[in-house]
């Protein structure tokens, strides 16, 4: 059972980056994004205001520049990074960006062509301020090159697919427990905590000592409602609701699990009590829209076409004005990543892409209806990785 990306795969990723640097006539790639750093070398950290950069040179070994508090952490997680240069903290007596410029010059990149996901040299979060790295190195030429990593992440390797499959198993368990604990009078956050705790405990006991969560701030396996309860189920990105679950509520759920830093996406619409005729109708149209989109997924089909197909089902049922978002998005290291199943994206689906499929119907003041499944594009069509029941009878809580 695979629980993390292998050392050999990380080496293949580094090699691929170096090939792309050669193709673009670049001497170095600088990565500031925490997920991009993890993708290339397996080092995961909590991104803060403190600038942190991974360097991938065309020739030579990987190096890291960042806060001292990450140095020992990095040594424990990866052996791919051979040189680590650190500062005590931000902003410091000498700003970290000025130190980065000094160190890069010492490493021989003072007059180089440098690709970067952010030429500023920092992610710029938590109120960070600082001089742009490209201005501190006037003799170097900086080229925005974050697409190198994003293009690589579009197609999942067999190892990545295996981790996402494993995630789907535990997301399925977490959702089963969520539905089991859900009843009128319960607080949705309470139900979520009960289900996530039990699923995570079983997950750890089953996978053993080798398993460790990668995503900071999340339970290993999780399921919940995020406030998409009753009339607030019509708000796709609701946060909470100031009452408990009631008879007649529409509930929109979400479940997944962290396996090696990767996750799947499982969402369902549940009804508390006997569904009304209106609830049945909305539910039926939503499911038909999702099925039409999944049936159309195959290599060579444009992402925009999938969105049009899903939306057409909803519009022909008379609910086109109740669409609030596109049909889906990529899944992997992040909950949302390319490709986007959107009418404005003509990128063609390719084998190895993993996307969500989640068209929805939302009537403000009444309720929302959305299933989401994790889909792998295969050589001939697609495979639904998540497998929780999708029919109304199975998702009715009596």
Asked whether the predicted pLDDT for residue 241 surpasses 90, the reply is yes
Angstrom CA distances, 236 to 177, 225, 322, 331, 363, stand at: 22, 10, 12, 18, 11
Say if residue 88's pLDDT is above 90: yes
Checking if the pLDDT of 216 tops 90, the result is no
Q: Residue 361 above 90 pLDDT?
A: yes
User: Is the pLDDT score of 260 beyond 90?
Assistant: yes
The phi and psi torsions of 275 (rounded to 5 degrees) equal: -65, 145
Q: Name the pLDDT band for 220 (thresholds 50, 70, 90).
A: very high
pLDDT of residue 178: 98
Reported as a pLDDT band with limits 50, 70 and 90, residue 104 is very high
Q: What is the mean pLDDT of residues 44-57?
A: 96
Three-state SS at 33: coil
Output the pLDDT for position 1: 78
The CA-based dihedral angle spanning residues 218, 223, 224, 228, taken in that order and rounded to the nearest 10 degrees: 110
Residue 275 has pLDDT above 90, yes or no: yes
Any idea which residue has 């997944």 for tokens? 256
pLDDT band (50, 70, 90) for residue 119 = very high
Entry pTM = 0.96
Q: Which of 211, 241, 208 is nearest to 224 (CA)?
A: 241
pLDDT of residue 27: 98
Domains and CATH numbers, the chain: 7-152 (3.40.350.10), 155-397 (3.90.230.10)
Average pLDDT over residues 77-102: 97
At 2 the pLDDT is: 87
């Amino acid at each position: 059972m695979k629980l993390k990306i292998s050392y050999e795969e990380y080496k293949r990723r580094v090699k691929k980056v170096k090939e792309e640097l050669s193709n673009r006539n670049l001497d170095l790639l600088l990565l500031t994004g925490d997920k991009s750093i993890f993708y290339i070398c397996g080092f995961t950290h909590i991104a803060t205001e403190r600038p942190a950069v991974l360097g991938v040179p065309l020739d030579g070994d990987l190096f890291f520049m960042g806060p001292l508090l990450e140095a020992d952490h990095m040594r424990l997680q990866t052996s791919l990074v051979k040189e680590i240069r650190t500062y005590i903290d931000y902003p410091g007596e000498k700003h970290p960006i000025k130190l980065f410029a000094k160190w890069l010059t010492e490493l021989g990149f003072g007059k180089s062509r440098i690709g970067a996901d952010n030429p500023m040299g920092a992610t710029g979060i938590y109120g960070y301020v600082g001089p742009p790295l490209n201005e501190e190195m006037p003799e170097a030429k900086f080229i925005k090159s974050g697409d190198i990593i994003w293009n690589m992440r579009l197609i999942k390797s067999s190892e990545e697919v295996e981790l996402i499959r494993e995630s789907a198993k535990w997301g399925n368990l977490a959702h089963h427990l969520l539905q089991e604990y859900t009843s009128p009078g319960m607080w949705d956050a309470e139900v979520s905590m009960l289900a996530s705790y039990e699923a995570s405990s079983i997950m750890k006991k089953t996978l053993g000592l080798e398993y460790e969560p990668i995503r900071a701030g999340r339970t290993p396996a999780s399921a919940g409602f995020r406030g998409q309860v009753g009339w607030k189920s019509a708000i796709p990105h609701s946060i909470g609701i100031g009452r408990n679950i009631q008879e007649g509520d529409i509930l929109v759920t979400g479940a997944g699990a962290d396996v090696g830093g990767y996750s799947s996406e499982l969402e369902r619409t549940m009804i508390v009590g006997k569904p009304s005729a209106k609830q049945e109708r909305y539910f039926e149209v939503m499911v038909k829209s999702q099925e039409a989109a999944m049936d159309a997924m195959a290599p060579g089909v444009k992402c925009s076409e999938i969105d049009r197909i899903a939306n057409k089902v909803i519009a022909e049922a008379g609910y086109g004005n109740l669409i609030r978002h596109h049909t889906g998005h990529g899944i992997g290291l992040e909950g949302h990543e390319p490709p986007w199943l959107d009418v404005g994206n003509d990128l063609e689906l390719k084998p190895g892409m993993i996307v969500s499929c989640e068209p929805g119907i939302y009537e403000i003041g009444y309720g929302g209806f959305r299933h989401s499944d994790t889909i792998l594009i295969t050589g001939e069509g697609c495979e639904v990785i998540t497998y929780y029941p999708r029919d109304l009878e199975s998702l009715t809580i009596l």
